[in-house]
Amino acid sequence: MPEEIFNREGTKIERPKFLTDLLAEVDSFDESLFPCNYKREEGEPVLGMVSPWVRKLYSIQRYYHRQMKLTAVDREYTNPSECAGDCDLCELKYKYGILNEMMWTLIRAESNLWSEPSVGIRENWQVVRSQPDDDEDGFKKFILGMMRGK
Ligand SMILES: [Zn+2]
- Indicate whether 120 pLDDT > 50: yes
pLDDT of 77:
85
**41 alpha-carbon distance from chain centroid:** 23
Distance 33 CA to ligand 1 centre (A): 27
pLDDT of 76:
84
pLDDT in tens, 52-99: 999 999 999 999 999 999 999 988 888 767 777 778 899 999 999 999
Total-model pTM? 0.82
Q: What is the mean pLDDT of the chain?
A: 89
Distance 54 CA to ligand 1 centre (A): 28
DSSP letters for 82-133 = PP-SS-HHHHHHHHHHHHHHHHHHHHHHHTT-TT-S-EEEEGGGEEEE----
Distance 115 CA to ligand 1 centre (A): 35
- Whole-number Å distance between alpha carbons of 127 and 107: 8
Distance 96 CA to ligand 1 centre (A): 14
pLDDT of 105:
98
Return the sign of the alpha-carbon dihedral for residues 22, 63, 65, 111. Answer: positive
Question: What radius of gyration, in Å, describes the C-alpha atoms of the chain?
Answer: 18
- Indicate whether 150 pLDDT > 50: no
